[in-house]
Amino acid sequence: MAQALSAPAADEIAARDAAKLNERSAQTITLAVEGMHCGGCLRKVETALMNVPGVAGARANLSARRVTALVKGADVNSVALIEALGNVGFKAADLPIDRIKPLEGADDALLRRIGVAGFAAMNIMLLSVSVWAGHGDMSPSMQSLFHWVSALIALPAVAYAGQPFFRSALDALKAGRVNMDVPISLGVCLATAMSFYQTMRGTEHVFFDAAVTLLLFLLIGRYLDQAVRVKAASAAANLLGLRGGAATIVDAEGKTSRVAAHKIVPGMRVLTASGERFAVDGRLVEGAADVDESLITGETTPRAVSQGGRVYAGTVNLSGPVLSEATATDQNTLLAEISRLMLAAEQARGRYVRLADRAARMYAPAVHALGLITFVGWMLAGQGWEMALTAAIAVLIITCPCALALAVPAVQVAASSRLFGMGTLLKAADGLERLAETDTVVFDKTGTVTLGEPQLVDPDAIDKAVLARAAALASVSRHPYARAVVRAAQASGLSVAALSDVREVAGFGLERVSNGTSERLGSAAWVGFTAPADGRSGVYYRAADGSITLLAFEDRIRPDAKEVMETLKAAGYRIEMLSGDQKPVVEAVASACGIDTWTAAASPADKIHRLETLAAEGRKVLMVGDGLNDAPALAAGHASLSPTTAADVSQVAADGVFQGERLAPILEAIAVARATRRMSLQNFAIAIGYNALFVPLAMAGYVTPLIAAIAMSASSIAVTVNAVRLRTMKLELAP
């Protein structure tokens, strides 16, 4: 008979049911966060979101630069979260779910398998060492017990940890081909099965440890390779978050509201404040602005935009509030097109087949044939299936492609360590191999050949009082030239205090009126001066007494740029420069560096087209660039490098990044890449020589599976020792 519940108990159950319902109605919102670099940033981001009413939890991912919030209730949306992060100094953008799912958990499964294989390998090795150390003294029953414990650990570990290789091998066989994973899977499975059979028989020769340890090292290598791929895909998705994220919409009645950028449609009017990014492509309908387009073009000089002028998503409004009319949807902006160009170029380069993979095409069938010949030969000799299978397993273990698989990675690790010590970080698994094949180097200009930051020319020649007063005016502006003036004044030891009542006029400059007199900082026309046609870029300061001073700027060329170009030419490389900047500036830099072939005013698509033209001519191009506009070209080049000052997406698109103000790391990277290729071929020779020596012995029955495992390890050590030499070799870039 049912018993009636008391009122408190019923209330408690109702509250629990409501909580469960509320939990089911919760949703997650994922944001791409810009500028999250350390654990302190991570905690700050999570705390800011947790302080938003309706947010039940927040978890930030530092490597992916994302944060996921658990939101309960319909009152909290992505706009509120973006604004909360903006209040603590982080720009964020909504990341639609279709861009997140392909990246979630891409390498979690591999990490779990590595953990299982590592745990199993350590414990089985301890048991094996005990058996080996107690050989002759250990009773057969104790030895059998140790083998059974090893089997209990190894069987589930192999079944779980080996799944990536087993699935890959099965897919290859279904497609009528073989790959590296086929001999690996065959060797692991046969070794495990034969060990289990020998354990059941009570014999002393089992090799569970070899099978599990092999899986462990192969899983580690696969995880590192996949981590790079996931990071690249994550950065490509985050690129679309560089749009405004949220925007202020003005309706027909003049009322404003905040909406997510991906909900904007053509025709909507968008209000963009000073210092804010434009959320979508559009045209100005009210106001004028200086627009920082460095994100798109890579150039530091802002562009003046008046009514009717075009503005692009991701660029920054440096002037006062302006009203624009959207002309494109979220997915059809120039920024989105750059993202698509980069992904398409990356996929095209992804079809490149590495040296180790090419070798595997010939190696894997040969291994299978040798194993089969061994088994059939021993069967025909009348030795029985057990002896035949043991000999075949020994052949498979001897020929297990560990040395072959390590031939390239071992050298790459040594090369990466050497380059890292010199300030260059390599990321792509096959980047060194492609870099060694290049014969043409194409440079971006701003931020690559030059340092990408305007600097005041000869500040010591400017009167200190004038420089201090100009810096006081400039301190209220975000314009790159204004910030350069402030930096120069501070570097000269001057105290810079921001002035009040300063008016900024888009496209002209800054003005302050005091006691009936005005002082201005800006263009020549703004201060009433006729500028000489000498090609110099800069601003003019007009003091209250009417005196005018030119503040000229230059984008300083990297100190060793000309020397690097001459070295590359002497080594037989063809040199070009592609830039989005204007012709006079590009021509001047090219002339100063000794670059004969250059292109100005190049868009991202123009750069890709030029690289495709060079490729059609049979050239293998090393692309060196730093801006967002260079990311598609970096992905399209046969190989690519980027300075550490580059945009995040450019660093991810590139095969490697280099530090410092000098271009010399490019020469070192090419020299190391060439040496890496030579030593990789040497390692292949070592691996083939080892197989030529031991395979006949294994086929003849002179090598047991245990000896085969030791020999296999010895070959791996040999290629590793050879690779380590690269760290201390003296290298020069020669023709």
Short-list 321, 238, 324, 285, CA closest to 32: 238
- Round to whole Å and give the CA distance between 313 and 335: 6
Q: How far apart are the first and last CA of the chain?
A: 95
Look up residue 6 and give its amino acid: S
Beta bridge mates, 577: 443, 598
Sheet of 303-305, strand order: 303-305, 289-292, 316-317
| Catalytic residue (one of 209, 281, 444, 655) | 444
CB atoms within 10 A of CB 617: 10
Per residue, the 3-state secondary structure of 334-367, as one string, reads: HHHHHHHHHHHHHHHHCCCCCHHHHHHHHHHHHH
- Round to whole Å and give the CA distance between 133 and 127: 10
Six-digit token string for 313: 């998503």
Backbone angles phi, psi at 675, to 5 degrees: -65, -35
- Round to whole Å and give the CA distance between 630 and 627: 5
Q: Name the helix (H) or strand (E) containing 283.
A: strand 282-286
Short-list 433, 66, 448, 428, CA closest to 232: 428
- Round to whole Å and give the CA distance between 238 and 152: 45
Dihedral, CA atoms, 315, 321, 326, 327, nearest 10 degrees? -60
Q: What is the DSSP letter of 64?
A: T
- Round to whole Å and give the CA distance between 601 and 114: 50
Which residues, at least 6 apart from 145, have a Cβ–Cβ distance to it below 8 Å?
A: none
- Round to whole Å and give the CA distance between 456 and 489: 10
Q: How many residues does the chain have?
A: 735
Phi-psi region of 53 (alpha: psi -120 to 50; beta: other; left: phi over 0): beta
In sequence order, which ranges of 28-107 are alpha helices (DSSP H)?
A: 39-50, 78-87
- Round to whole Å and give the CA distance between 124 and 207: 9
Phi-psi region of 552 (alpha: psi -120 to 50; beta: other; left: phi over 0): beta
Based on the residue annotation, tell me whether 357 is a catalytic residue of this protein.
Answer: no
In sequence order, which ranges of 550-701 are alpha helices (DSSP H)?
A: 561-570, 583-593, 604-616, 631-636, 648-653, 664-699
- Round to whole Å and give the CA distance between 337 and 327: 14
- Round to whole Å and give the CA distance between 703 and 696: 9
- Please identify every residue annotated as catalytic: 444
